[in-house]
Structure 1
Amino acid sequence: MKAPQPRAHINDHRAQVADKSQHPLFRGNYVNQAFMVQSLQRSTTEVSEGLNGTLMTEQPWLEAKRWLLVAVLGLEMTMGIVGNCLVLLVKVMCRDQFSCRYWLPFLSLTLSDLGCSLLIISGSLVAILTGGQRSPWCEVVSLLKFTFITSSLGSIAILCVQRLIGMASTGSALFVVMVTACLTSWVTGLVFGSVPVVYAWIRYDPAEMLCAVFWENSYSDMLLYILCAFSLCIFLPCVLIFFCSLLLSASSCHSNWNSDDAVDLSSVSPLLVCFYMLCYTPFFVSELILLGRRDLSPAPDWLRTLSSVMSYLDCGLNPLIYCSHQDFREAGLALLWTNRKPSSEPVLTSITKRVNV
């Protein structure tokens, strides 16, 4: 019985393929294809090993960076809370032991630094440990941060203007004007800080360690907001600080300069101005970089991290600047020194009259 024709056809086809596989050209192509597959597998393995090695190398660095930021923020938060609370206690309980003619802007600045230490720095510290911030706390932190920045800069500007005028915060009609100016700086920061919240421009930024404004759609909206916010909240106070400091420096060269300001707590205002500008320079630079990029890409991560760390540092440095004033420092030490030794000098308690008979 004959085999079926289709089976014979299949066997003939297999024989033809076997004959072709012995051909040099066919065998060369087969070898090349096998070599390419092996090379691709080897390259994939090397890339995978390289990525694994890179991740293993970066993982300890990211962990070390995280705990370093936790330590730095913890120190800044402690300095800000403890220092500004002590400043408030000294200003309230020991106000008669040192001269402070312009106490209103000092009080506004201290409250701003204390609020930033309690709410913003602590929020960033928790965000690092937990990996982010959630709504609505995310929006609240962004709003309050801009409010504290504006109020602190406005308080320093009001202090410089008041020193130039030379009128104290009490006992004059200027008191109402100063109260209005301090409240205006707070309200202005609150209004401009609420605009990104209303338009949902807020999201968490791991580099800044808090929720910040991100521009993803419109360059014109970003340009309009930043120009308005910087003009009213940053540029105007800086202009007042610059011109008042310039006029105060010129006035100090004349003999008619009021010598009472030399012993007043306001004599530390040049240090306040210098350290504020130093600590907030990275923040201003990062905003200017954002303003100059048409693709709406933010500043580098390291610059945004530095801007947050340096701005937080200013809240803890201001109490140390106050302590550079001798009378304020002595009043603070007297408040903290609870274990006072009794005086060794004799004290006259009564007089007994003796009559000689």
Structure 2
Amino acid sequence: MSGTRQQHRKSRLKMNDWANSSTSVVLDQSWTRVERSVLVAVLSVEMVLGVIGNCLVLLVKIMCRGRFPCRYWVPFVSLTLSDLGSSLLIISGSLLAMLTKGQRSPWCEVVSLLKFAFITSSIGSIAILCVQRAKGVASTGRGASVVVALACLASWLTGVVFGSIPVVYNWIRYDPAEMLCAVFWESSYSDMLVYILCAFSICIVIPFLLILFYSLFTAAGCERNCDSDPDDLSSVTPLIVAFYLFCYTPLAVSELILLGRLDLSPAPDWLRTLSSVMSYLDCGLNPIIYCANQDFREAGLALFWTSRKLLFSEPVLTSVTKLEL
């Protein structure tokens, strides 16, 4: 029994030594000047697209709701808020980290928590949208809107809960490859396995299966939404799903590589960098995808064109009142 304890203690000390050494290596890693310039330029473009695009989308959704059909507006708003928050906080945090060569506490822990919350809320919102579209449960009714809003809120809270666990256990370190703070495991492989399996099963796998099943269900023509308008904004759902899966595939692959390595070594640097860049790209692509819907695009153009005419138009004489002396 004592021999087993000593062996376990030696393996744990060895694991901690590896973690400390690997963390120091990661922290000492530096980008070349050209690589840093390219990444700064890419992150800047993604941040501008994400912030401006999602702000304009929210403005059109709020001010022009009657000008285009949108029966499932609740998950669309939740997804837009997630993309906007990621663009404002996460992408800007990565851009600042590239310029200052690191992130410090407590912003380091906040960024890690928020990134997990935004990822979970976005995939949860898309899953809810796919289920709504297949079942034909519109968000126009008060009861349905409350239920769908609670489901979207649950996806946000789930991401916050699972994102706070690494912060509580002090697993967060700055990773130059991901350009933000990420989880570095300094405990046993079993701890990592339990956490990742629980987090991925609840936050990622279940929504992914819902997206896959109900997307195929809708594509097969089995949806109950028989009276749906083909011009409804939900017509862009297949594009949203396709680009989301495409952009987040590198992130899923890097996490699976980490899960498959018993020595807790992370995925290659280039893959972790690609996963961050691609996940950020999705935040700026969604507003462009919304504009693929003709009614939504026309509502946005009408809003800004009308505002411009009102701003620059000259006074027009509309009536004359004759005063008698």
TM (norm. structure 2) is 0.84
1:253-275 residue CA offsets vs partner (Å, 9 max, x unmatched): x9x86252411000100000000
Q: CA deviation at 1:179?
A: 1.4
Q: CA deviation at 1:333?
A: 1.0
Distance 1:306 1:68 in 2: 13
Amino acid at match of 2:233: L
Amino acid at match of 2:231: V
- Which of residues 245, 254, 276 is equivalent to 2:215? 245
- Which of residues 17, 30, 39 is equivalent to 1:69? 39
Bigger RCO of structures 1 and 2 (CA < 8 A, at least 6 apart):
2
User: What is the aligned partner in structure 2 of residue 189 from structure 1?
Assistant: 159
Q: Does 1:156 align with 2:153?
A: no
- Which of residues 321, 329, 338 is equivalent to 2:289? 321
SS in 1 for 2:181: strand
User: What is the aligned partner in structure 1 of residue 262 from structure 2?
Assistant: 294
Distance 1:133 1:320 in 2: 31
Matches for 1:59-138 after TM superposition, within 5 Å:
62-138=32-108
Amino acid at match of 2:189: Y
Percent sequence identity over aligned pairs? 71
Structure 1 unpaired stretches of 5+ = 1-58, 351-357
Distance 1:149 1:339 in 2: 36
Q: CA deviation at 1:334?
A: 1.3
Q: Does 1:270 align with 2:251?
A: no
Q: CA deviation at 1:70?
A: 0.3
Alpha-carbon distance change, 261 to 221 in structure 1, aligned in 2, over 3 angstroms: farther
Amino acid at match of 1:122: S
Q: CA deviation at 1:175?
A: 2.2
Distance 1:78 1:283 in 2: 22
Distance 2:308 2:82 in 1: 32
Structure 2 unpaired stretches of 5+ = 1-29, 321-325
Q: CA RMSD in A?
A: 2.2
SS in 2 for 1:203: strand
Distance 1:257 1:88 in 2: 26
Distance 1:130 1:294 in 2: 33
TM (norm. structure 1) is 0.77
Distance 2:41 2:247 in 1: 19
Q: CA deviation at 1:173?
A: 2.6
Distance 1:118 1:76 in 2: 10
Q: Which has the larger radius of gyration?
A: 1
Q: CA deviation at 1:120?
A: 0.2
Partners of 2:79 and 2:121 within 8 A in 1: yes
User: What is the aligned partner in structure 1 of residue 117 from structure 2?
Assistant: 147
4+ residue stretches of structure 1 with deviation over 3 A? 338-343
How many residue pairs get aligned? The number is 286
Q: Identify the range of structure 1 (159-168 vs 284-293) with the bigger mean alpha-carbon deviation.
A: 159-168
Distance 2:75 2:225 in 1: 22
1:109-168 residue CA offsets vs partner (Å, 9 max, x unmatched): 000000000000000000000010000000000000000000000000000111111121
Q: Identify the range of structure 1 (169-178 vs 69-78) with the bigger mean alpha-carbon deviation.
A: 169-178
